[in-house]
Structure 1
Amino acid sequence: MSEPLSPREARPWLTVIGIGEDGRAGLSPAASAALDAAEAVWGGRRHLALAEPLTAETHVWPSPIGDAYPAILARRGQPTCLLATGDPFHYGIGAEIARLVPPAEIRAYPQPSAFSLAAARLGWPLAETDCLTLHGRALTRIVPALQPGARLLVLSWDGTTPAAVASLLVERGFSRSRLTVLEAMGGPRERIISGEAAGFPQQDIDPLNTLAIEVVAEPGARVLPLATGLDDTFFENDGQLTKAEIRAVTLSALKPFAGALLWDVGAGAGSISIEWCLRHPANRALAIEARSERAERITRNAANLGVPERVSLIEGAAPTALAGLPVPDAIFVGGGVSHPGLLAACRAALHAGGRLVANAVTLEGEAALLAAFGETGGDLRRLSVAKASSVGGLTGWRQAMPVTQWAWTKP
C-alpha cells in the first residue's frame, strides 16, 4: 500500500461521494457539482452507471482495490472523485483513503448507509443492533454475535450469502432465527424477502443485499458465552489444551485490551489466542506452534469460533520462530517454558508495559518460572482444580495436575 501523503497546505482536491440506487437523483447539489467538476472518477461498474452522465475520465475499481491508490495519489491537486455505496466511511473506501490523504484535502458527501436504510425498513433502533460485514470476510465472522435475542444487520458478499448464513444458523442450533434479505434498497429494484433459517427460501437473490437476522437460540445451541473460559468441548484438541478454568485465570492475568496483539507461544489448540480475540473485535493474535497437525487444528478452531482473520498462524519452534514478528502487547507461553532462552527472548520482545504470562505443569517448567521470578520479580501462583467424578458407586474429587503461573509486566 502507498505511504500517506506528507502534509501540505490544505486544499481539497479529492471528493468521496456515496451514491445510492436512485443514482444522480439522490445526490445533493454540492455532490453533483463536485462530480461534474471532477477530471477523473473511480468507482465500481454499478457506481459509474448510476452516476451517468459523466464527462470525466472513468476508472473501474481493480481487484484488489488498493492497486488503484498509487494512480489516485498521483493526481494530488487535480479534481478527482471516488464513488462508493451509501456511507463511504462505514465499511467503505472513505476510511481507507483517509489513511493516505490528509482529511483536510478530502470533501465527502455520504448517503444513508445500508445499515441505516435496513433499520428504517424494519423499524429497528440502529443503536441497539449489531452491524457486521461479510463482504470479503469469512462467513463464521458472525458466530460471536449469535447471542439469544440479538438483532444483526450484515452486509452480504453476494447473492449466495443469505443461504450460506441460513445453513450456518441451522448447523449451530439457531434454525428458528428469522432472516430478512433487503435487496437494492432505495432504487427501483428494491425487494424484501423473509423466512426462518430452517427452510429459508431458495431463490435468486440480488448480489447487492443486506441481511437482517433476529437470533433465536434453541436448547443446546452453540452460543459463545461472553465470559472467559469457554468449555473445553468448543475446541478440537489432542489434549494439548489450556483447560477452561486455567484459561479463564490466564486470560485475566494477560489483561487484554482493545486493539492489542498477543503472541501465543506453543499455542497447542489455539484456545488462548482465540479467547484473546473474542474479548474485542480489534484484538489480534499470533499463534506460534511447531507441530503442523496442531497448526492446522488452530486454523480450524479459529474459523469455527468466529475469529479466522484475527488469529494468524506462525508455524515453527520458539524462540527461533519469534524473530521478526510484530512487537506484541502481551505474550503467553503455554508450551516449551523450560526451553533455554525462551523466557528471556519473550521478555526482550515486549515493549515497556507489555505483559508476559507463562504456565507450567512439569518440574522443569516450574524451575524455569521460579528462576525468572527470582531474577525479575512479578507474580507467581499455583493453580489447582479438582472435579467431582465417579469412584466406584460413589463420587469423589479427582485432582488435575497443578499449574504454576508466572505473570510479569515489563518496566
Structure 2
Amino acid sequence: MWIAKSWYFIYFSAGGCLNPFLTLLYREKGLSEARIGELAALRPLVSLPAGYAWSALADRRGWHRRIMLGTLCAATLFKLSQWGLGGLWPLALAIALGQAFDAPVTALVDASVVAACAVEEDGDYSRVRLFGAVGWGIWAAAGGGLLGTLGWPSLFLCHALLTCLLAWPSARLSFDLLRGGPGHVGGALKGSGTGAGRGGDQERGGASAVGTRRQVYVLADVEEAVSLVGKASKGGEGGVDDGGSQCASIACDTQPAGAGQSAPVGQPSPSGRLTGAPDPPSPGQPPAWRLLIHPPILAFLASVAVMGYAMGAIESFLFLALRDLGGPPALAGLTLTVTCVAEPIVFWHARRLQAALGRRGCLHLVFAAFLARLACYATLRGWPSPWLVLPGWATASAA
C-alpha cells in the first residue's frame, strides 16, 4: 500500500502549504469577512453535484484514472490563478471552477484504496489515510513560515511543485476493482503490478462468495464513512459499489456461511439476479423520499448541519481572528500541525476506540470536542496571548 500512502502524503502536503492560508489572501485583496464566507460557501455547493457527475462518468466509461489526473491538473491551474486575480467575482469564478474539477480527485482515490484494503491481508484504510494527515501537518507549518518570510509567491510555487510530484504515484494507482476487474488491486498498490488479492471469488471490494449478501449503501463521503464506521473485517465484509467515489457500501450476511447462493459477487445466481446486488423494491415499499423524515436520517442530517457549521466557522475565520490578535502566519500554520499530531494517533487506534466507546459514543465524543473547541475560540480575545490557541486546539482535536 506504499503507493497509496505516498499519494495521500504528497496530495495533502500540496494542500496544506496553501489551502488553509487562502482566507488571508482574500483579505489582502480587500474582501470583507462576509465576502470571504460567501467564497467559502461556494466550495461545498459546487463540489457536491460536480463530484457525483464526475464519478458517474468515471464509472460509466471506466475512465477513473483519466478523470482523476485531468481534473487534478485543471483544479491546480484554477487554484494557482487566484494569486493574480482581484475582486469578488473573478475569485468566485476561479474558486467555483477549481472546486468543480477538484471534487472527484480524492473521491476516486479513496474508492480505489478502500476497495484495495478490503482484499489486502494488511489493508487498513485509516492507517493508509493517516499519511495525508502527516503531510498536511508538516507542510502547514512550513507554509506558515514561508508566508511570513518569503510571501505568497513561495506558497504558490510549493503548491505547484508538490502537485507535480503527484504524477508518479497517480500513474501507479490501480482502479481495477472500480471497473469490476479481477481482485489484484492490492498488488498494484504495492508497486508489484502483479499480485492476486485474495482469490478470484472476491470482486467489487473483496466481497465473499459464500452465502447471500446484501449491500447497504450509505450516502456519505468515503473518508468520513470509513473513518467513522471503519473498514469491515477481512473476508469481504466491506467494499465499494460501482459509484464508490461518493457511496460507501457495507456487505452483510443475511444467511449463515455455506447456506444460500455460492456464485461470486457480481455473477448471476441461479435465480438470475446478480449476487451482492440490492434487493429490488417491493410493491408495498414506501418511496425513497420518505427516508428523509425517518428519525435516524433526521438525526444524521442534523449532525451534519452542526458539524458543517463548526468546521466552516473554524476553517474560514480562525486564521483571520489570529491575524487580528497579532498572531504571525507561522502561528496559523502551527495550529494545523498540532491538530495533525493528534489525528494520526486517532487514525491508528480507530478500531480500539470504536470497540471501547461504540459508534454512538464516538459521535458524542466528537460533538463534545467541537463544543469545547468553539468555546475556546469564542473567548480567544480575552486570552493574554494568541499563542495559547495551540493547547486548546490540540485538546479539542485529539477527539
- Give the TM interval when normalised to the shorter protein: under 0.3
* TM-score (structure 2 length as normaliser): 0.26
* TM-score (structure 1 length as normaliser): 0.25
Which is higher, the Rg of structure 1 or of structure 2? Answer: 1
Which one has a larger percent helix, Structure 1 or Structure 2? 2
Q: Which has the higher contact order (CA 8 A, sep 6+)?
A: 2
Which one has a larger percent strand, Structure 1 or Structure 2? 1
